[in-house]
Amino acid sequence: MTTAPSTLAQKLVARASGRSTVTPGEIVNCQVDLAMFHDSSGPRRLKPMLDELGASIWDKSRVVLVMDHYLPERDDESRRIVRIARDWAKEQALPHVYDGQGICHVVVPQHGHIRPGMFCVGGDSHSPTGGAFGAYMFGIGSTEMLGVVVTGEIWLRVPHTLQMHWSGRLAAGVTAKDMMLHMIGRFGMNGGQYQAVELAGPAVQALSMQERMTLSNMSAELGAQAGLIAPDATTHDWLAVHGVPEADLQGLDAWVTDSGAPLTRHDFDADALAPQVAAPHSPANTGAVDQHAGTRIDVAYIGACTGAKLDDLRAAASVLRGHRVARGVRLMVAPASQQDQAAARAEGVLQVLEDAGAELFPTTCGACAGYGDTVGDGTTVISSTARNFKGRMGSSTAQVYLASPYTVAASALQGHIADPREVLA
């Protein structure tokens, strides 16, 4: 019997549901390999429900808790929320807890928890980051997470696949962030609603793992359930460095979309892509950087899981090395994880940023999620975060533009939105 061609999404869901094949539109029950949640989405919501049910965690080895949203605790409410998370983790004797180590979407893969072929859920909308490693991962709410934590299962409607195929290669100063902003600008924030977005083609294959993580992460801004990239040698080598045993990295070539599989393909040319900027107040308000060039800024923010990983910090440093930010501009840098911050410090990258006038902030979600050091009234901001919804970074009167770390750094240097290619040249 010949098996019909399947997409990467179908293969991942079929494995999780214990079937040889699945068809888009079918509803299947899936076994969960990993459940991740953080201090905001996790214990403070799950503990009362579990206590009321008298239920326990199905498999503590498959649960990861990250404290990243309400750190550092700045008021009584944040202290209360973090205390609940810490006390519950201790009470449950959870083996995988990362407290103040960085943002969950970066910390979890950096500690080897996500591998190709897995089926994972996260208590955060940017959980599709796991798709960069060839895993099916998506965000769910607290009630759904309760069901997962108790049973280890979740039902799923098998998604249709939208394949975003990128030919060519990105120019210097153009990044995965620009690719994703361009796609969101083309399709809108509901363009991939409840579907699996697969990111493919030579330009995607040429990206580092951290750049791939940015692509998969922001598939959420397309409305997609998952943002998948087929694993390859780059995936293998990165995961091996981050502690994944070789035995778990075999057979990666099985996790690919078959020729002739049912999908809708859209083509893009990386060679022709300019740096992108999303204007207030939506990632879908995206156009080439020259559409906004000259717009004065007050704050340049390099932070979040989509804009402050080691590769992002290196990009910003390549623009700012030997220079100072413009007078009147505040450059805020919040590395995505302690691991990335330490590496950036060892490489001299943080020193370059600090010499340019950057203020260093904690390795947490910070202003991206509206916690901690946020932006004030009437402020014009250019940010490497994933979203620029009104009020998300602080004041509802702030005007937030989204861009890559290259563009954020170039804009900080010039005092207005600027094309990083001009600075790099």
Go through the domains of the chain in sequence order and give each one's CATH number. 8-269 (3.30.499.10), 275-424 (3.30.499.10)
pLDDT 10s digit of each residue in the chain, 425 long?
Answer: 458 999 999 999 999 999 999 999 999 999 999 999 999 999 999 999 999 999 999 999 999 999 999 999 989 999 999 999 999 999 999 999 999 999 999 999 999 999 999 999 999 999 999 999 999 999 999 999 999 999 999 999 999 999 999 999 999 999 999 999 999 999 999 876 789 999 999 999 999 999 999 999 999 999 999 999 999 999 999 999 999 999 999 999 999 999 999 999 999 999 999 999 999 999 999 999 999 999 999 999 999 999 999 999 999 999 999 999 999 999 999 999 999 999 999 999 999 999 999 999 989 888 887 777 678 888 999 999 999 878 788 888 889 999 999 999 999 999 999 999 999 98
Cα(36)–Cα(108) distance, rounded to whole angstroms?
8
Specify whether the backbone of 294 is left (phi greater than 0), alpha (psi in -120 to 50) or beta: left
- Model pTM score: 0.96
Q: Which two tokens stand for residue 266?
A: 């859209």
Distance CA 19, CA 22 (A): 7
Structure confidence at residue 147 (pLDDT): 97
CA-CA-CA-CA torsion sign (213, 355, 363, 223): negative
Q: Which residues contact 387 (CB under 8 A, 6 or more apart)?
A: 221, 283, 368, 402
Q: What letters, b where the CB count within 10 A reaches 16 and e where it falls short, cover 380-407?
A: bbbbbbbbbeeebbbbeebbbbbbbbbb
pLDDT of residue 1: 45
| Distance (Å, whole) CA 10 – CA 261 | 9
CB 204 within 8 A of CB 230: no
Name the packing angle between helices 209-217 and 176-187 (round to 10°).
Answer: 20
Q: How many angstroms separate the Cα of 411 from the Cα of each of 48, 286, 423?
A: 46, 17, 10
Is the distance from CB of 67 to CB of 100 less than 8 angstroms? yes
